[in-house]
A and B are shown apart, each in its own frame.
Chain A
Amino acid sequence: MKHWYCASIVFALVVVVSNPHAASAQNSQPPAARSGAYAPARTADGQPKIEGIWNPVGTFYNIQDLEFQARFQNFRDDPTRRGKSLIIDPPDGKIPYQPWALAKSNEVLQHHEDPTPQYLDPNARCFMQGVPRHLNNREFEIFQPPGYVVIFNMAHHTYRSIPLNGGPHIPDRIKLWMGDSRGRWEGNQLVVDVTNNNDQPWFDVVGSFHSDAMRVTERFVPINADTIEYTSVITDPKVYTRPWTFKVTFNRNKDYGSELYEEACFENNAPSLELMLTRPGR
């Protein structure tokens, strides 16, 4: 009998993600390299080449409080993977919620360990993770065909294509899980403006959220052949009091060769989720 490749069941349901290879490559680049001196090779159409499979350093359980998430995730006692927050602005590392929104977020935090359906992370249901969370989850691949940067996640087979042709965003009425991305290269930095986001994905397991007014401005900065520093500035006047900045480092993943596998998350998870959500007491 053939057997199934359904690692996604474990990943999506229990949300316990440990990422051992991400830690090893944390580098100590000299300041010159960090300021953009690294010049990647070029693709056939002249883009700085950042192709390959990458892993975020840092995980998505609670983006505001990594010590908190250490209680739930196996960090293999590696201190380089800890920190207070993935939010570098405001300086306190907290999402600048409006008061009503902070109350909503806290409500999820309090219930997330044994969630009734409304407190279950949409990611656990195999829905697409949204921006920026699909980059702060597990391995993903950057592919650069002419005129585009395309990102493929193994988890949930999420993809996002980023056209570089300077075209306008789609009509505002259209809302998408992955938003509408428009990118450009500024020197060796990829800058992407993401609009048309819907209000359904969360930033993490404990209910950090945004509305459909969210706009994200991302910067992918390659600082050496195996490291990209990523920041996104997140604006959403319906939910926050000011813009805030999320930062995570991507390290090259050399474990998969050049090919990701298929993870048919929903197809494999649907029966387990059904059970979880309908068991007595739910």
Chain B
Amino acid sequence: MQTRLIRIVFLVTAIAAFARPVAGQTLPRTADGKPDLSGIWQAVNTANWNVLSHNAEKDVPAGLGVVEGDEIPYQPAAAAKQKENFANRATADPESKCYLPGVPRIMYMPYPFQIFQTPTHIAMTFEYVHAVRRIFMNTPHPDGELEWFMGDSRGRWEGDTLVVDVKDFTGMTWFDRSGNFHSESLHVVERYTPTGANNINYEVTIEDPTVFTRPWKMSMPLYRRVDKGMRILENECYAFGLEHTWLRPPQ
């Protein structure tokens, strides 16, 4: 039954893919006709400092914000918690501890990431703390009460848009350095729509009934890193400054 459904969905989306080319652009496609998202990408914005619009400060670039309506619909207690987080951000931000940043924050941290794509499985490998996302296609979330920093991701194609449903999070990650936060009830739906060979429109819906009064959205472009010889390097945040503390060969 499920196989048949998947087959029908595949047919419909295959037709949709041919019927709806992006205006004036030829998208690279995989053998099965889906947009080919593989390659190295990076967001270029200031959302990691603050997802809302904000002025510049020392070591903080100004930004127009990435949240639809420029407002996060916190419940009253959560709004107070966000203010407390902001006041303590230098040490309370999970990024300051080098933790895995969670989703969607990892997608707009100022480091590149790579997408590998097959029909059944899309993998993302990130430079920052060698984070990994595995997106299995057309499969259900696993049973059991999981709490993972990067959540559990399940993907499907809707026309030329990759839709990823992510849940099973911890409550230990934030959205930015400004104390915007969620609980372990976070549910994220991401939509990756290529708008050309080198651009993806990334839109994400955030739902968390214990923290927000309603779902809300962020959106931003992702850009292909076309630099010569580009590859993902390493940013082992939690090893910095500790190198002297175990035995290494003399320099």
Kindly state whether residue B18 has any CB partner on chain A within 8 Å: no
- Cα A128 to Cα B236 with chains together (Å): 9
Contact with B along A12-26 (1 / 0, CB 8 A): 000000000000000
Residue of B nearest to A212 (CB): B249
| Chain A hits for B218, CB < 8 A | none
Residues B246 and A44 in contact, CB atoms below 8 Å apart: no
Instruction: Give 8 new A-B contacts, CB below 8 A, not counting A125-B246, A167-B229.
Output: A5-B147, A5-B148, A152-B134, A168-B229, A200-B239, A200-B248, A259-B142, A262-B148
Residues A161 and B232 in contact, CB atoms below 8 Å apart: yes
- Cα A44 to Cα B34 with chains together (Å): 15
Of B38, B132, B149, B248, the most chain A CB neighbours within 10 A belong to B248
- Cα A211 to Cα B247 with chains together (Å): 11
Kindly state whether residue A143 has any CB partner on chain B within 8 Å: yes
Kindly state whether residue A279 has any CB partner on chain B within 8 Å: no
- Cα A107 to Cα B247 with chains together (Å): 10
- Cα A72 to Cα B212 with chains together (Å): 51
Contact of B148 among A108, A163, A211, A264 (CB under 8 A): A264
Contact with B along A202-246 (1 / 0, CB 8 A): 000001011100000000000000000000000000110000000
Could you tell me the dominant secondary structure of chain A's interface residues?
A: loop
Kindly state whether residue B59 has any CB partner on chain A within 8 Å: no
* Chain B interface size, under 10 / 10 to 19 / 20 to 34 / 35 or more: 35 or more
Kindly state whether residue A122 has any CB partner on chain B within 8 Å: yes
Kindly state whether residue A90 has any CB partner on chain B within 8 Å: no
Kindly state whether residue B199 has any CB partner on chain A within 8 Å: no
Kindly state whether residue A126 has any CB partner on chain B within 8 Å: yes
| Chain A hits for B132, CB < 8 A | 152, 157, 159
Residues A267 and B236 in contact, CB atoms below 8 Å apart: no
Nearest-neighbour CB distance to chain A for B34, whole angstroms, equals 13
- Cα A101 to Cα B149 with chains together (Å): 40
B:138-158 near A, CB below 8 Å:
142, 145-150
- Cα A220 to Cα B172 with chains together (Å): 39
Residues B125 and A143 in contact, CB atoms below 8 Å apart: no
| Chain B hits for A7, CB < 8 A | none
Could you tell me the dominant secondary structure of chain B's interface residues?
A: loop
Interchain Cβ contacts under 8 Å between A and B, 25 examples = A2-B145, A5-B146, A44-B118, A117-B246, A118-B245, A119-B246, A121-B246, A128-B130, A143-B116, A145-B116, A150-B123, A157-B100, A157-B132, A161-B116, A163-B231, A167-B229, A168-B229, A174-B233, A178-B130, A178-B234, A211-B249, A258-B136, A266-B99, A266-B129, A267-B172
Of B142, B233, B234, the most chain A CB neighbours within 10 A belong to B234
* Chain A interface size, under 10 / 10 to 19 / 20 to 34 / 35 or more: 35 or more
Nearest-neighbour CB distance to chain B for A100, whole angstroms, equals 8
Residue of A nearest to B121 (CB): A143
Contact of A127 among B117, B131, B236 (CB under 8 A): B236
Nearest-neighbour CB distance to chain A for B230, whole angstroms, equals 10
Kindly state whether residue B184 has any CB partner on chain A within 8 Å: yes
| Chain B hits for A168, CB < 8 A | 229
Residues A176 and B233 in contact, CB atoms below 8 Å apart: yes
Residues B123 and A143 in contact, CB atoms below 8 Å apart: yes
Residues B236 and A262 in contact, CB atoms below 8 Å apart: no
Residues B118 and A260 in contact, CB atoms below 8 Å apart: no
Residue of B nearest to A43 (CB): B118
| Chain A hits for B247, CB < 8 A | 104, 107-108, 118-119, 207, 209
Number of A-B residue pairs at CB separation under 8 A: 119
Residues A157 and B130 in contact, CB atoms below 8 Å apart: yes
Residues A262 and B149 in contact, CB atoms below 8 Å apart: yes
> Assuming A159-B132, A161-B232, is B150 touching A262 (CB within 8 A)?
yes
Nearest-neighbour CB distance to chain B for A261, whole angstroms, equals 8
| Chain A hits for B117, CB < 8 A | 145
- Cα A267 to Cα B236 with chains together (Å): 13
- Cα A176 to Cα B130 with chains together (Å): 12
- Cα A178 to Cα B145 with chains together (Å): 33
Kindly state whether residue A158 has any CB partner on chain B within 8 Å: yes
Residues A267 and B99 in contact, CB atoms below 8 Å apart: yes
- Cα A239 to Cα B27 with chains together (Å): 50
| Chain B hits for A104, CB < 8 A | 247, 249
A-B CB proximity, top 8 nearest: A145-B116, A262-B148, A2-B145, A211-B249, A117-B245, A264-B149, A267-B99, A157-B132
Residue of A nearest to B147 (CB): A2
Kindly state whether residue B97 has any CB partner on chain A within 8 Å: yes
- Cα A193 to Cα B223 with chains together (Å): 30
Kindly state whether residue B98 has any CB partner on chain A within 8 Å: yes
Nearest-neighbour CB distance to chain B for A198, whole angstroms, equals 9
Contact with A along B89-124 (1 / 0, CB 8 A): 000000001111000000000000010111001010
